[in-house]
Amino acid sequence: MKDKSSLTLWLLVPAVVAIFTLSLMALPFPQRQKPQQPKGSPIFIPDEVKSVMLAGMASREPRVDIPFTITQNIFLPAQEGLHSIFFLKIKNADLGFHPIGQEQPVKKDEPSAQEPQVQPASGGQLQASFNMFLMFNVLEGDKYKTVREVYVPCNIIEDASAINLEEEDYYTFGYPLLAGHYLLSVALTSLDLKKIGVQYYEFTLPDPASFQESLETTPLFFIKSIERMEAPEMRTLLHREYFTYSVVKIVPNIERKFNLGENLDIFFFIFGAQPTAEQKFNIEINYEVKKDDEIAIRWVPQSYDNPLISQPLPLKQTVIIKQGEEQRQETRDLPEGKYLLQMQIQDKVSGKSLTKTIDFEVK
């Protein structure tokens, strides 16, 4: 199954997964960094920001001083509860990126047609400094109860050559939560709090302990790269185009689009699998790629002794070439098109099984 381009990742993944599994057992909840405030009761969200967040809570009406959207969330197991990762899509220019060493430009509501548009230099680094405030609310019918307030100071530095200010990119943050039905309110603000953008996002986290009679997985997603960090992040941070989880840094393929010849790498965790008396798992997964009802690729079944799965899958087809009465096999890249990855998961210890699918596109 392995080809030369995937060899490095194949060697890296088992070590990262093993280190990660051990780290889960000892990883505490991230420490919450509090905003600096005058002496007295700590304030996580300033009143002028909180009032805006609360004003649109019932109607989910956003405020677009700084426009952005919350596109999705995924979750993975943590020592207590689940580590939830949220994806924001933001136009880079709206965050106020500017060359390091220069003051952050003040963006006017209606710039004059005669004013020259300042473009960043192609070299050097750009910086954006702003605030993010998070309000996690547990939903109970039509009512909600605020259970967490988080302040996230943001200071993002990027190489000018690696960021397009006119494009929208994904930004992510993670937070550990218990099972429940939530309404998340996110506010992005300028440092002086004069510009406040707010969005709302409703989501549900399952109870991992509820999977006793069946198997289930965390949300499936593809990764572009995974690498080990020296230590886990101990507070909430906003990242551009990647997220962190315990001791690993993951660049996800959120759009689920691949170039010809690229490998597909699926990442997920299996709930409900049972270990042996020696605390080892025995999980088998059959992977297939389908084009409509036709099987395009079928790999050899893979076995795992850990329910955290990171599996590279080369998108190579074996085709039969007929020449007269002779025929030969040839390996080719999976052609352009839209496909479905199907996984048949079986827990050999308990006998439980599960089928999961996720679509993707080769361009």
- Please give the helix or strand (H or E) that residue 25 lies within, else none: helix 7-26
Q: What are phi and psi of 89, to 5 degrees?
A: -115, 120
Could you tell me which CATH number the domain at 220-363 has? 2.60.40
State the pLDDT confidence band at 23, using cuts at 50, 70 and 90.
Answer: very low
Q: What percent of the chain has pLDDT over 90?
A: 75
State pLDDT tens for residues 110-162. 433 333 344 454 569 999 999 999 999 999 988 999 999 999 999 999 999 99
Contacts of residue 15, defined as CB under 8 A and 6 or more positions apart, other chains included, come to 228
pLDDT for res 105: 56
Q: Are strands 196-205 and 180-189 parallel, antiparallel or unpaired?
A: antiparallel
Place of tokens 């827990």: 347
320, pLDDT greater than 70:
yes
Q: Which residue has the higher pLDDT, 30 or 187?
A: 187
Query: Whole-angstrom Cα distance, residue 238 to residue 324?
Result: 61
pLDDT for res 292: 93
The tokens for 341 are: 């990855």
State pLDDT tens for residues 231-275. 999 999 999 999 999 999 999 999 999 999 999 999 999 999 999
102, pLDDT greater than 60:
yes
Range with the poorest average pLDDT among 24-38, 63-77, 98-112, 320-334 = 24-38
Rounded average pLDDT over 175-190? 97
Query: Whole-angstrom Cα distance, residue 341 to residue 356?
Result: 8
Q: Specify the 3-state DSSP secondary structure of 83.
A: strand
pLDDT for res 228: 95
Q: Which residue has the higher pLDDT, 15 or 284?
A: 284
pLDDT for res 42: 61
Q: Are strands 337-347 and 326-333 parallel, antiparallel or unpaired?
A: unpaired
Give the residue among 24, 30, 82 at the shortest CA–CA distance from 306: 24
List 361's β-bridge partners, or say none: 257, 338
Q: Which residue has the higher pLDDT, 29 or 157?
A: 157
Domain boundaries of the chain, sorted by first residue: 31-101+123-211, 220-363
The domain 31-101+123-211 is placed in CATH, from the list 1.10.1060.10, 2.60.40.10, 3.20.20.370, 1.20.1050.10, at 2.60.40.10
